A and B are shown apart, each in its own frame.
Chain A
Amino acid sequence: MRSRWQLSQKSIKRAYAAVSPVYDLVFDRIFSPGRVEAIKLMGIGPDDRILDVGIGTGLNLPLYPRHRQLVGIDISGKMLRKAHERIRELNASYVRLAVMDAMQMGFQDNSFDHVLATYVISVVPDPIQVLQEIRRVCRPKGHIIIVNHFKSEHPIMGRIEGLMAPLITRTGLFKPDLQLTPLLEEVGLVPDQIHRVNLFSGWRLIQCSNSKETTPDRAPPKGGTHVR
């Protein structure tokens, strides 16, 4: 069941090393509408904790309201060093960074009010495990926001994409044919909102409320921890 959603870690690393010189240019211009919309939709409150999964070089950083408890993670220490530079330029030293594998995060349960994953789900070896980890670290009823490319539900477009998918997957950049509904069902997420974003077809912004059993004893203390 899972194998069709998997990309190998090796091919991902190789592909991103190859595109890294133009990564910011492409990802900043073409994919910025999705980022802007996502952060707008989060409705971040003044004391909310936010996790940005796969923050990379920090392209999302200027889009967040300032002085929030924002944590960014990425598997690439090299990308995070660029994010660190951006934090310095933006004078946003309240942002915390950590190198982490999104499939095995180093956070306590229920640590965040909002978890955002822009363009991450289709570039990880196991998207289901990432979504399960996102659910674990997001508090009950917290917001989970995913921006990603999903296979078209239009019958003809879906078939064309299906034919092209093996070629794109072979580049190691991302899997273009993730199916939104079965993926969300597999991890028990029900979308509250789905929006179309970006220039090309297939890009979706999904907002879910994290419905899960409360385990208050593991939640870290909140309030009075706000850093300005």
Chain B
Amino acid sequence: MIDKEFLEILACPACKGEVRLDEPDERIVCQACGRRYPVRDGIPVMLIDEAEGK
């Protein structure tokens, strides 16, 4: 489950920027560099290779 507490400690693995959850798209979005990370089976996939954008 991705709740507020979890999002607070998550960061973009590339630039370490803060992230937010884009709920309709089920993506974790970096607010600094804009990379978008997928969420699969409720588990965030915070791998630079799997990110969209940038």
A and B assemble together: yes
A104 to B40 alpha-carbon distance, docked (Å): 19
Q: How many A-B residue pairs have CB under 8 A?
A: 70
A189 to B37 alpha-carbon distance, docked (Å): 32
Interface size class of A (residues with CB under 8 A): 20 to 34
Q: Is A108 an interface residue (CB 8 A)?
A: yes
Q: Is A182 an interface residue (CB 8 A)?
A: no
Q: Is B44 an interface residue (CB 8 A)?
A: yes
**Contact between chains at A99 and B46 (CB < 8 Å):** yes
Smallest Cβ distance from A140 to chain B, in angstroms? Answer: 16
| Binary interface encoding of chain A residues 69-111 relative to chain B, with 1 for a CB under 8 A from any of its CBs, else 0 | 1010001010011001000000001001111110011111101
A-B contact pairs, 14 of them (CB 8 A): A75-B47, A77-B40, A98-B44, A99-B44, A99-B47, A99-B50, A101-B47, A101-B48, A105-B46, A106-B37, A107-B9, A107-B10, A107-B11, A108-B10
The 8 closest A-B pairs by CB, nearest first: A106-B46, A106-B13, A111-B9, A99-B45, A220-B8, A104-B13, A225-B5, A98-B44
Residues of B within 8 A of A (CB): 1-3, 5-6, 8-14, 16, 18-19, 37, 40-48, 50
